[in-house]
Amino acid sequence: MKVCVVGTGYVGLTTGVSLAFLGHDVTCVDLDENKVQTLRAGRSPIYEPHMESLLGEAAERLTFTTDYSEGVPGAEVVFIAVQTPSLPDGNPDLRYLSSAAETVGQHISGEGEFTVVVNKSTVPIGSSNWVDSILREAFERSHGRRADGEFTVASNPEFLREGVAIFDSLYPDRIVVGSDNPRGLDVLHRLYRAVLNQTFTPPTFLPRPGEVGAVPMVSTDLASAELIKYAANAFLATKISFINEVGRLAGKVGADITQVARGIGLDARIGPRFLEPGVGWGGSCFGKDTAALITTAEEYHHDMPIVRAAREVNAQQRSVVVDQLLSELRILKGRKIGLLGLAFKPDTDDLRDSPSVDIARKLISRGARVTLHDPVASDRFRAQHPDLAGQLADSIDEVFDDADAVVLVTKWDQYLDLDWGKFTGIMRKPVLLDGRHCLDAARLERLGYRYLTTAG
């Protein structure tokens, strides 16, 4: 099928490249000229495992452009995957979406073709109707006539996890599609058939796991699809905040939160995933989507106390690191604190709402000197946080050198495999705060570390 993807960020790029790999003819449109140039050269502008390999495999069916007229006319499916960042009041900023929809509307050819315009961006409930009206007006203005069944709007929320985005696109738990038009649902069913039935030949670098069978497609009305996305993210965020709330109590009563999490996670009704205690969640989605869910509910005079609490606990969790260091070191002013990891989670260079950046700023505001390290996200950090660029360390040794404490914030494999024994000698105080509860406490204590976690 001929497909156009508007916006080639984490979601749009993954969608476009995966669909091209599956055999569709895909044009990716982005306004960012640099991104388009990088992609044309076969390189990925984001750090995402397997992205460049898949780009290479799908190259002949992929076009990258800044020009909508190369992608939209004649496309059976147009995805809109632009950013929807939070505004200060918690509502998502829909400017990018409205501008993309407007331009798509102008470029739909309308010559005997039927286009499904798919919202892949996470948008508040009701946005698909709004996008439909923008498309309609733009189409009518540019064609000088009323739209008459040339297109329909569908919602296809994205559930990929950065760091395993390609895997999630090829082997998703489910595909959710919302549309009020059965023809739209039918087109999307055809688009995803190879994934739904798992009939494609997997890439050599990402074999199909044995347990993956047919993928369920959840077909709904528009509002339900939009709400599914918000409810899923709010639930996952709540699960993490829940274990962190219990973790703080565990620290007080002398229980081991890692054992507690394992003990409850083995209950099949609960499950072990997203039950990892630590510095809390971050990234581009959970904070923004929980805020949007609350503000949408407010429009209907509906309170969401559980979602509010999940946000509050998460905000406090970032201060827990500062509080732990304060009670251990007594004075933070002038102390040298090293932070391992800047990305909000491993295997991505995404720094949006990263706990690490927040913790660094909190420590600096308390007068501490911070040294920062990340195996992948340093360049992006330099560009996005130029005021802190001077705190970046060139090596992991520099993070430990003369440090009063080091905090493991992002669970990168590189950090898990460190030769921890060699650092105690170069630290001023061998204090290690394991912000992800992922290191071997007994071993580190044997090596001479004072080992702390977010649970004490």
Ligand X SMILES: NC(=O)c1ccc[n+]([C@@H]2O[C@H](COP(=O)([O-])OP(=O)(O)OC[C@H]3O[C@@H](n4cnc5c(N)ncnc54)[C@H](O)[C@@H]3O)[C@@H](O)[C@H]2O)c1
Catalytic residues: 285
Among 1, 31, 164, 212, binds ligand X (CB under 6 A): 31
Residue 128 Cα to chain centre, angstroms: 22
5 is a site residue for ligand X (CB under 6 A): no
CB of 95 to ligand X, least distance (A): 8
With contact defined as beta carbons under 8 Å apart, do 374 and 341 qualify? Answer: yes
Q: Which two tokens stand for residue 303?
A: 């309170």
Among 4, 6, 134, 405, binds ligand X (CB under 6 A): 6
DSSP state at residue 347: T
65 DSSP β-pair partners: 29
7 is a site residue for ligand X (CB under 6 A): yes
With contact defined as beta carbons under 8 Å apart, do 169 and 16 qualify? Answer: no
169 is a site residue for ligand X (CB under 6 A): no
DSSP state at residue 87: P
Among 5, 27, 28, 30, binds ligand X (CB under 6 A): 30
CB of 175 to ligand X, least distance (A): 13
353 is a site residue for ligand X (CB under 6 A): no
DSSP state at residue 428: S
Q: Rounded distance, CA 287 to CA 351, Å?
A: 13
Among 48, 76, 132, 158, binds ligand X (CB under 6 A): 158
Of 317, 306, 331, 340, give the one whose Cα is nearest residue 408. 340
User: Whose Cβ is closer to ligand X: residue 82's or residue 408's?
Assistant: 82
The kind and range of the H/E element at 241 are helix 222-253
39 is a site residue for ligand X (CB under 6 A): no
Q: Which two tokens stand for residue 164?
A: 């395993």
371 is a site residue for ligand X (CB under 6 A): no
138 is a site residue for ligand X (CB under 6 A): no
Among 115, 122, 241, 356, binds ligand X (CB under 6 A): 122
User: Whose Cβ is closer to ligand X: residue 27's or residue 378's?
Assistant: 27
The kind and range of the H/E element at 175 are strand 175-179
Reduced to 3 states (helix: H, G, I; strand: E, B; else coil), residue 30 is: coil
Phi, psi (5° rounding) for residue 420?
-60, -30
Give residue number: closest CB to ligand X: 9
Among 22, 54, 81, 408, binds ligand X (CB under 6 A): 81
Size of the site for ligand X (CB under 6 A): 26
296 is a site residue for ligand X (CB under 6 A): no
Reduced to 3 states (helix: H, G, I; strand: E, B; else coil), residue 435 is: coil
35 is a site residue for ligand X (CB under 6 A): yes
CB of 167 to ligand X, least distance (A): 13
Of 81, 67, 66, give the one whose Cα is nearest residue 16. 81
121 is a site residue for ligand X (CB under 6 A): yes
Reduced to 3 states (helix: H, G, I; strand: E, B; else coil), residue 12 is: helix
295 is a site residue for ligand X (CB under 6 A): no
User: Whose Cβ is closer to ligand X: residue 159's or residue 200's?
Assistant: 159
Among 11, 240, 351, 452, binds ligand X (CB under 6 A): 11
Among 4, 5, 12, 346, binds ligand X (CB under 6 A): 12
Residue 176 Cα to chain centre, angstroms: 18
435 is a site residue for ligand X (CB under 6 A): no
User: Whose Cβ is closer to ligand X: residue 6's or residue 396's?
Assistant: 6
- Collect all residues with Cβ–Cβ distance below 8 Å to 190 and sequence separation of at least 6: 1
Q: Are strands 151-155 and 175-179 parallel, antiparallel or unpaired?
A: antiparallel
82 is a site residue for ligand X (CB under 6 A): yes
The kind and range of the H/E element at 74 are none
Considering only 125-133, 154-162, 256-264, 353-361, which stretch makes contact with ligand X by CB under 6 A? 154-162
Q: Are strands 62-65 and 77-80 parallel, antiparallel or unpaired?
A: unpaired
- The site for ligand X (CB under 6 A) is made up of 6-12, 29-32, 35, 81-84, 96, 99-100, 121-122, 158, 160, 162, 284-285
